[in-house]
Amino acid sequence: MTAVSAAARTPQRDPRALVLVPAPPAEASSWRRRFSRRVLAADTLVVLGAVSLAAGLRWSTEPRSGDLVVAAALLILWIASVLLAQRRLHHRIGAGAEEFRRLLSATIATFGLASVASVLSHVDLPRLHVLVALPVGLGGMLAAHALTRGHLARERRAGRALSRVIVAGGLHDVTHIVTQIDRRRGRVEYDVVGVALGAETGVPTEGRRSITVHGRTIPVVGAIDRIAQAVVEQRADAVVVAGQVDGGDAFLRRLCWALEPFAVELVLAPGLSSVAGPRIHWRPVDGLPLMRVEPPRYSGPRHALKRVLDVTVSAAALVALSPLLALLAVLIRRDSTGPALFRQQRVGRAGEMFTMLKFRSMTVDAEARLAELRPANEGSGLLFKLRNDPRVTPLGRVLRRYSLDELPQFWNVLRGSMSLVGPRPPLLSEVERYDDVVNRRLYIKPGITGLWQTGGRSELDWEDGVRLDLYYVENWSLAGDLLILWRTLRVMLRPVGAY
């Protein structure tokens, strides 16, 4: 008998025991699942109602047995498209205009595919589906999402529907990110529960137990190399890595591995807070992930579309609001001596001067009394602000509180000197003191409303106002304009920070 070798007698280990099985990803935050289901249910009901309405109208005028099949197919296709769009937006609930763009794209894709299928199959797609179901369904979904956003914002202001987050990085980068998150409280999903600090040249961080941002003390949960342990201790839902960290790609890879067993997002903040998402594009080159930032555009087709929106909305507003405008003019004349309208020279795009119209909210000698009130100025930078300005009339306080004094500016928009949305229209005395950075506000037309109107109004200091205006100038979009207009309506109905 042939002898059996020693190697053959040695029991072989199962190679599967040598491989670490990846932990299954945990489920997302409960509030995100809850709102995702709520939005999807609302979209489904709206689409069902829109298609049923169109099918019912079609059946009542020209009944055909095949129309029910077409309606059912359109319903399934539309809901599937919306579901796919929502899945891609799972981690961006209530953030930015992308949510609305996805709904629009899903709806257009649905009816585009339905039209192609109709041609290829020689099955008629009833025009009522396009004329009724499309606008009713799309409008209903946009309204449902807007209402859900409002509810989500209220939840966040109450301290609910938030993701607990740890911010990691150098002290300067961490402080910047925490400041930006805190400034957007109620509009972003993050609640910073701790920071993990890494080494930073010239900045001592060892032994630091907390950082203070806007009067809020945030604990330092440890060094940057113990984030995974801090996630467990703080019950964090997300980790934001701010700027460059020691270890680079190898550190991020290990961090991803450490966070795999938990329901924890890893978010990278590359320091491009002044650049909007649509201008950022990933360009992988031979495995190297590169980020390309598009230069801002201050003219071209998009600005032509913006002008179309300006003319359409301003003309409609002047017609629809004409009774209110006439009533306010009469009330202003009765409230105090002087004209109903206040005219003032402002600086527009590229330094062009124009006469801005407003309803008069101050006494007629307001400009003459400005010098004596300057020592009491409560504003910062170039702005003059006085919370209890004695020049404001009783009716003027009401007009300012609800932004009714700005309604005549629709005429400025119609004439082309202003836009619906844009930077704040400055005085010539302010522009004369602009530096090269602030001067970029004049690259586009000033607006009746803007990020400054929806981001704090009179409560904003000069630096914050400039920052918001410059961000808008370089990153504006039509979808963003519509979102700002919607937020402006909400601010007017629930005024905060106006005086």
CATH number for the domain spanning 173: value is 3.40.50.720
| Same domain for 327 and 190 | no
Interatomic CA distance for residues 453 and 169, integer angstroms: 33
Please report whether residue 103 resides in a domain: yes
Residue 279 is encoded by which pair of tokens? 């201008």
- Output the six-digit token pair for 204: 């001592």
Confidence band (pLDDT; 50, 70, 90) for 432?
Answer: very high
Does residue 365 belong to any structural domain of this protein? yes
Are 372 and 463 part of one and the same domain?
Answer: yes
Q: Do residue 177 and residue 79 come from a single domain?
A: no
Are the beta carbons of 463 and 382 closer than 8 angstroms? no
Q: Both 462 and 439 in a single domain?
A: yes
Q: Count how many domains the chain has.
A: 3
Total-model pTM: 0.64
pLDDT in tens, 38-95: 888 999 999 999 999 988 887 777 767 677 888 899 999 999 999 888 776 656 666 6
Mean pLDDT over the full length of the chain = 83
Indicate the residue among 108, 133, 157 that finishes a domain. 157
The alpha carbon of residue 253 and the mean position of all alpha carbons in its chain are separated, in whole angstroms, by 30
| Residue 480 domain-assigned (yes or no) | yes
Q: Which of 271, 288, 322 is the last residue of a domain?
A: 271
Residue 183's identity, in one-letter code, is R
In a domain, 380, yes or no: yes
Which residue bears the tokens 């997302």? 28
Q: What is the mean pLDDT of the segment spanning 218-224?
A: 85
* Confidence category of residue 457, pLDDT binned at 50, 70, 90: low
Q: Which structural domain range is residue 44 located in?
A: 30-157
Decide if 322 is inside a domain. Answer: yes
Domain boundary among 101, 122, 157: 157
Tell me: pLDDT of 483 over 50.
yes
Q: Report the alpha-carbon angle 458-463-468, nearest 5.
A: 75
Answer yes or no: is 256 within a domain: yes
With residue 309 as reference, give the H or E element that holds it. helix 301-320
For residue 182, the model assigns a pLDDT of 83
Answer yes or no: do 136 and 190 share one domain.
no
